């Protein structure tokens, strides 16, 4: 596939380019549909409920019904909203979340673009998602939205710093920013062991980046009703939900690639199981972890959230970089 993707665009292969993107989008929508179902089921069981079980067998069509409902809803727009920005915001939130998936190596063969700076691309692009949120908050002309949007901007920018810092350790160990090489370098040992500190910082910061419990302040229901998307309805609202889950998909992929050895088996003897199965297993474990947190954790307070990012996570991440740098240079015979 990579040969195809590395060709210069021409009339003949443009169709293939588009088709590949559509297939990825379809896979993604399938994931989002069933991630929501899975989330509701898991949280339901953890909270003594049943979860969706009415629409279709075992409630499997629940999300489909929900999306249909959103699609046929009236598209309302507040009277004093900034029309252009209001329309643009959901797209701004969604596009980068989808765009980051281009560099993700799902297995050895399934990867859309094998960039040398894949990791940097991910970080750069994911930094844009905050724009969608803050635009939505501003354009809605609603006080709750505004507070939610601003909280979100502060939070996502603050947590991006430790997030980026925590992956520097991995880059130092591997000596590359290419995601495929990072996975290949984990043949002997997954990065989660030598980079445990980085892993912990990453997983916490990722939670904040994704606006999920216990860092779901931007959409804190009990405080801000639902934060930045309080004025959105119908499909625009669906776009925000979609962006949230797609971003989660991206984050889960990244964490699998960076720390959990991507498509590599847990021990080399289990090599006969296809890489994609391993990938899905690790990926699902992380997604499950997120739902688990959501079912058990209360929400943090906004001031504590900030001081936690700057006073705890960032120093730990920096310490991790220092430690990794010292070890790496010691191993390469610098001392």
Partner 1 sequence: MNQNILTTHVETSSDTGIRTEEMLLNVGPQHPSTHGVFRLVVKIDGETIKEAIPVMGYLHRGTEKLAENLTYTQIIPYTDRMDYVSGMTNNYVLCHAVETMMGLEIPERAQFLRLIAMELNRVASHLVWWGTFLLDLGAMGPFLYAFRDREKILDLFNELCGARMTFNYMRIGGVKWDAPPGWIEKTKEFVQYMKKELDSYHQLVTGNEIFLSRIEGIGKFDEKTALDYSLSGVMLRSTGVNWDLRKNEPYCIYDRFEFDVPTGTGGDCTTRYHLRMAEVVQSLRILEQALEQFPSEGEVLGKVPRVIRPPAGEAYVRIESPRGEIGCYISSTGKDKPWRLKFRRPSFTNLQILPKLLEGQSISNMIAILGSIDIVLGEVDC
Shortest CB 184 distance to partner 1, Å: 38
Residue 47 touching partner 1 (CB under 8 A): yes
Residue 61 touching partner 1 (CB under 8 A): no
Nearer CB in complex with partner 1: 203/321? 203
CA 51, CA 36: separation in Å to the nearest integer?
A: 11
Residue 76 touching partner 1 (CB under 8 A): no
Interacting span for partner 1 (CB under 8 A) from 141-149, 162-170, 178-186, 278-286: 141-149
Residue 184 touching partner 1 (CB under 8 A): no
Residue 231 touching partner 1 (CB under 8 A): no
At 114, phi and psi to the nearest 5? Answer: -95, 75
List 56, 127, 214, 265, residue binding partner 1 (CB under 8 A):
214
Q: Which two tokens stand for residue 184?
A: 């290949």
CA 247, CA 152: separation in Å to the nearest integer?
A: 15
Residue 29 touching partner 1 (CB under 8 A): no
Nearer CB in complex with partner 1: 44/127? 44
CA 12, CA 14: separation in Å to the nearest integer?
A: 6
Q: Which two tokens stand for residue 67?
A: 């999306």
CA distances from 303 to 129, 133, 244, 300, 306 (A): 22, 20, 23, 9, 5
List 296, 311, 322, 330, residue binding partner 1 (CB under 8 A):
296
CA 56, CA 41: separation in Å to the nearest integer?
A: 14
Residue 205 touching partner 1 (CB under 8 A): no
List 173, 300, 314, 317, residue binding partner 1 (CB under 8 A):
300
Nearer CB in complex with partner 1: 103/154? 154
Residue 77 touching partner 1 (CB under 8 A): no
Q: Are the beta carbons of 308 and 228 closer than 8 angstroms?
A: no
What is the size of the binding site for partner 1 (CB under 8 A)? 30
Q: Are the beta carbons of 176 and 182 closer than 8 angstroms?
A: yes
Burial class (CB in 10 A: 0-12, 13-18, 19+), 283: buried
Shortest CB 157 distance to partner 1, Å: 17
List 117, 281, 302, 316, residue binding partner 1 (CB under 8 A):
302
Residue 311 touching partner 1 (CB under 8 A): no
Residue 182 touching partner 1 (CB under 8 A): no
Residues 275-294 that bind partner 1 (CB under 8 A): 294
Shortest CB 202 distance to partner 1, Å: 19
Residues 125-129: contacts with CB within 8 Å, 24+ apart? 125/96, 125/99, 125/100, 126/96, 126/97, 126/100, 126/160, 126/209, 126/247, 126/250, 127/160, 128/92, 128/95, 128/96, 129/92, 129/93, 129/96, 129/97, 129/156, 129/243, 129/247
Shortest CB 295 distance to partner 1, Å: 5
Residue 298 touching partner 1 (CB under 8 A): yes
Q: Where on the chain is the footprint of partner 1 (CB under 8 A)?
A: 43, 46-49, 143-144, 147, 151, 213-214, 216-217, 220-225, 294-304
């Amino acid at each position: 596939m990579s040969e195809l993707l590395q060709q210069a665009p021409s009339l003949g292969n443009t169709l293939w380019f588009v088709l590949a993107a559509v297939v990825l989008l379809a896979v993604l929508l399938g994931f989002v549909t069933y991630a929501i179902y899975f989330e509701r089921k898991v949280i339901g069981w953890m909270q003594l409920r049943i979860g969706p079980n009415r629409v279709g067998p075992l409630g499997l069509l629940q999300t489909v019904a929900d999306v249909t409902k959103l699609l046929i809803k009236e598209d309302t727009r507040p009277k004093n909203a900034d029309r252009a920005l209001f329309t643009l915001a959901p797209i701004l939130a969604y596009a980068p979340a989808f765009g980051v998936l281009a560099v993700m190596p799902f297995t050895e063969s399934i990867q859309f673009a094998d960039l040398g700076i894949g990791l940097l691309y991910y970080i750069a692009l994911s930094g844009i998602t905050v724009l969608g949120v803050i635009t939505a908050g501003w354009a809605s002309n609603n006080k709750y939205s505004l507070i939610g949007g601003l909280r979100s901007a502060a939070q996502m920018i603050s947590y991006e710093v430790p997030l980026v810092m925590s992956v520097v350790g991995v880059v130092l160990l591997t000596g590359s920013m290419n995601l495929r090489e990072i996975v290949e370098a984990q043949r002997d040992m997954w990065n989660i062991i030598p980079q445990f500190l980085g892993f912990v910082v990453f997983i916490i910061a990722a939670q904040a980046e994704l606006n999920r419990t216990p860092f779901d302040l931007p959409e804190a229901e009990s405080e801000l009703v639902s934060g930045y998307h309080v004025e959105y309805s119908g499909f625009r609202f669906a776009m925000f939900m979609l962006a949230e889950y797609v971003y989660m998909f991206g984050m889960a992929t990244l964490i699998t690639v960076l720390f959990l050895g991507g498509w590599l088996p847990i021990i080399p003897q289990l090599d006969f199981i296809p890489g994609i199965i391993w990938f899905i297993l690790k990926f699902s474990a992380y997604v499950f972890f997120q739902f688990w947190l959501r079912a058990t954790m209360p929400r943090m307070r906004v001031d504590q959230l900030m001081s936690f990012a700057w006073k705890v996570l960032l120093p730990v991440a920096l310490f991790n970089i220092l430690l990794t740098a010292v070890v790496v240079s010691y191993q390469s015979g610098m001392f």
